[in-house]
Amino acid sequence: MKRISSLFSKLFAACKLVPMLPITILAALPIALLWNVRPWSRPFWSVNPSLGQWVVIFLVAYTVIDALIGMIDDIRKGYVGVDVLVIVAILSTLAVREYWAGWAIVLMVYSGEAIEEYAHAKAQSNLTALMEAAPVTAHVVNLPGVGANAARAGAAAKEGEFRPVTPEEIKRIQSSGSHFDTVPVEQVRMGDVLVVLPGETVPVDGELLSDSATLDLSNINGEPMPREVFAGVRVLSGAINGSTTLTMRATQLARDSQFQRILELVSSAQNSRATVVRVADLLAVPFTVLSFLIAGSAWIISGVPARFAQVLVIATPCPLLIAAPVAYIAGTGRLAKAGILVKAQEVLETLGRVNHIFFDKTGTLTVKKPQVVRVDMRAQAQGNAANGLDEDHILLLAGVLETYSVHILAQGIAKAGSAAIKRLAARYAEAGGHDLPGSDWDGHDIEHPVVKNVHEDSGKGVAGEVNGRKVRVGRYAFVTEGEQVPAQASEVFQAALAADEMATFVSVDGRLTARVVLKDVPRDNAKASLARLRELGVGHLSMLTGDKAASANIIAKEVGIDDVRAELFPEDKLAAVKNASIEAPPAQSVWDRVVQRLTGESVTRSITMMVGDGVNDAPVLAAADIGMAITDGTSTAASESAQVVIMNDDIAGVPRAISISRRTKRIMLQAVIGGLALSIIAMVCAAFNLIPVVAGAFLQEAIDVVSILWALTALLNRD
């Protein structure tokens, strides 16, 4: 029953989009009933249509005028107008008095429009879903002295600073629905405190004020599982709130928020046209000429004018004019569903021809933050004053402080500290709730460390008190300031590191205690992703990095790259990408050569792509034929210089994008060539009087449906 209801709802939607479709269908009844009715006493001229046939004539006249207007509009927009086939075919049926065939063609015209609307809607479904997810309203807290109201009332010390919202106020806001006004999202101001109800979309980028929240980021980066976040974290517009109300402060206006930038990319892709689609438009012209040649030859050879109409009612350029763009829109939507956004369909077409890919190292082939690999502890015999603290204790102390730092190593140490807290908590539980050996902390101190007096000395380190101990984390000179380190300990801590390692130092209560060693580690799936690129036939994979050669070679060996170009300045990276133009172009398919001949383009070099994290790679991303930025959905710098943005921070998106591009092009060619071949075969059969004119009109529609539905298979996940 649900399927029947769904079918009728789709039919109703199609009728709303194309109102002439139900009118044409319903007209069949008066046409049949009035087929032989001629109330006048004598004909007006030698041709004497009945009332039913006059209904057909009026339908045909309206359709011809509508087609002429559409053709002129297409020509003005720069598209090729080939509605002349429809116009001549429908008029020819009247000329040979095949009125039912004329009605059938009118029916096929409007049903074709309905199918086209459906196909475009289906192809754009993934993109449309993103557009429809855009937030339109926001709940702005109206308590006096809170948020932007506080600044306007003079409560802030200076512009841009806002009074902190107290925990009591947050509880009061979340427990009652009477403390906010619902306004259009465009009216949200910087500093406004907002309430996001369960299941609602975060309206603008901001800072979380609630203790915690669960957010669904699938609209932003395709991440399938909700993410739990905590107070102070950046929350992004487009994220969907979980089951509890959250409170946040707006840090961006709606027009500058993350989701709005995603929508700009989506809109750019929707409004563009790939080169192959423009070529398909051009091919519609010779197809039209061929159709007229077959129809004219059939008339001349047979001497039967009806043959002309029989051929033309089958001629359909829809595989070119509809199937080709539908395939590329569907491919763009398939990329979006995979968390990959392209600025234009042109990029989707070019992706499939890439044969030289340059990768940045740090943050692209490797994880975005160096990972802790070990902790070198100062031995007791060397005068350790850390009171028996072990590696997990040190990581907890350092990790808690590094959450307040912006240094490149801070996030890796903070992550290791979080893991150490879990291990210490488990050890505390196993100890039956007794203090751990060497530590006077209880379970609360472990899971909720007390932090005081934190300050960061930019470029040197961060210091503060954690659980009553004075801790410093940073450079050797910073953490040993005022301490005479024994020579033996100094030698241990300043021992040489491996080429790909880096270190930071930790002092506890004024004594150098440990060296935390970190290293750049490859992404888990980097090697597999590069192997997949080779399977796809990408001939050249290179690494471009400013790091030292020894460090770069270690990562390159682990991920499987032979061409390593290290210790490069930004201008060196640009030169490396530009010099790729001297490389021999890849072998080209017949279709590629046809496209180049029709468009006047000539590819005499390799097609290059630069893959980076979109921050310091912007110039090189812009210089390559395709710039692809890998982001985690929280960075938008890449969207300015890259043509492709991977939103889910997954390097597997690189081969996936190329695979989807090639499959989209293959499906488009199959739909176009298959549809045209069927149409030409049917026209030849009609020329030999094997297909009656009415049957030909319905056959033409069947060919359109087959080619368009085949183009829609680009939406399927088969890459």
Query: Which residue type is seen at 65?
Result: I
Name, in order, each residue with C-beta under 8 angstroms of 430's C-beta and a sequence gap of 6 or more. Answer: none
Q: Determine which helix (DSSP H) or strand (DSSP E) holds 487, and give its type and residue range.
A: helix 487-493
d(CA 515, CA 714): 53
d(CA 80, CA 69): 13
Choose among 481, 476, 521: nearest CA to 498.
521
Bridge partners (DSSP) of residue 645 are 341, 629
Bridge partners (DSSP) of residue 141 are 180
Which two three-digit tokens encode residue 167?
């925990």
632 in catalytic set: no
Name, in order, each residue with C-beta under 8 angstroms of 593's C-beta and a sequence gap of 6 or more. Answer: none
Name, in order, each residue with C-beta under 8 angstroms of 209's C-beta and a sequence gap of 6 or more. Answer: 165, 170, 193, 231, 246, 247, 248, 249
Sign of CA pseudo-dihedral 322, 665, 719, 647? negative
Given 216, 360, 625, 704, which residue is catalytic? 360
Cβ-defined contacts of 566-572 (< 8 Å, 24+): 568/544, 570/616, 570/619, 570/620
d(CA 669, CA 222): 29
**DSSP string of 158-173, one letter each residue:** STT--PPPPHHHHHHH
- Strands (E) located in 240-331: 240-241, 246-250
Which two three-digit tokens encode residue 716?
């399927």
Total number of residues shown for the chain: 719
Tell me which residue has tokens 């006077």: 440
Q: 110 and 60 in contact (C-beta within 8 Å)?
A: no
Name, in order, each residue with C-beta under 8 angstroms of 8's C-beta and a sequence gap of 6 or more. Answer: none
What single-letter DSSP state applies at residue 338?
A: T
CA distances from 389 to 232, 399, 434, 507, 698 (A): 30, 15, 16, 12, 83
Name, in order, each residue with C-beta under 8 angstroms of 75's C-beta and a sequence gap of 6 or more. Answer: 81
Backbone angles phi, psi at 321, to 5 degrees: -80, -25
CA distances from 521 to 280, 395, 629 (A): 47, 19, 19
**Cβ burial, residue 612 (10 Å; 0-12/13-18/19+):** buried
Q: 682 and 667 in contact (C-beta within 8 Å)?
A: no
Catalytic residues: 360
